[in-house]
Amino acid sequence: MPAELSYPPNHIDKHYIELPRSDFKVRGVAAWASLTLVPLVLYLCYFSWIGPDAIVLKYASLVELGIVILISWTGLYFWRLDTETPLDEPIRFNRARRKIYVYRFRHNALRPFSRAAWGVYPQVYNWDDLRAEFCSIRAVGVRGLVEFLTIAVIEPTSGRVVDRFIFAHGRQESDMYWAMAQLYMQKGPGAVPKFEAAPRDWNNEIHFENIARRLAPKVKWPAVMDIESRTSL
């Protein structure tokens, strides 16, 4: 049901289909939330170590120091997560090569100051090694279940899961996007339903109202992988 999907495929031809993808759906909330923590950190610092009633730094409360560090650490992590995640994390299904190419973004909550632990690292997998897994969890502060579909990458010889990533969110949308990928890989572009909406150009949108998407980097595939993922053997 194309009309029920949030977005049509980014691209489709006889060689590959590219579907939009993201590890999380809501952008901008975490960035604004992290900014609201800045006044709190300044307040604690001033009244603990600088204000007229503050004691000498070496006698300052370790609890207050720990709170400042925790708030700063958490705020930086969520700021980077929201503003450094690319505008899209697409996935390409190449029918001729029977491979998929995933534009993945890596982040690490334990290393919010690191450069090496953050960034885009596109991955290539064999189509025959994939297994779709539907998941539902109860998240804090969310009514009901959070539902999403993950793709597990299976080692052919042992059957062991060697990697896993989020493919789509929501039960109905997940089922339809995965069905679309299967139809394309099994029968070609002619089997994919037609979409009235034009493909979304994720790299050429101006987001004045959303600070996270305004600062987010554009999608830029590595040159060799870009050519390989768009062509046949």
Residue 89, classified by CB atoms within 10 Å of its CB into exposed (0-12), middle (13-18) or buried (19+), is buried
For range 25-38, the mean pLDDT:
79
Q: Which of 83, 98, 124 is the last residue of a domain?
A: 83
Same domain, 44 and 117: no
Same domain, 119 and 219: yes
Beta bridge partners of 91: 19, 102
Helix residue spans in the chain (DSSP H)? 29-45, 62-84, 171-187, 211-215, 223-230
Same domain, 49 and 141: no
d(CA 102, CA 18) in angstroms, rounded, equals 10
Look-up of token digits 């993950």 = 150
Same domain, 195 and 114: yes
Domain extent for 60: 31-83
Task: Give the pLDDT band of residue 227 (cuts 50, 70, 90).
Answer: very high
For range 109-131, the mean pLDDT:
93
User: Which of 205, 161, 232 has its CA nearest to residue 14?
Assistant: 232
Kindly tell me if the per-residue pLDDT of 56 is higher than 50: no
Kindly tell me if the per-residue pLDDT of 58 is higher than 60: no
Same domain, 43 and 108: no
Same domain, 158 and 55: no
User: Amino acid letter at 37?
Assistant: L
Kindly tell me if the per-residue pLDDT of 20 is higher than 90: yes
Same domain, 94 and 183: yes
Same domain, 174 and 68: no
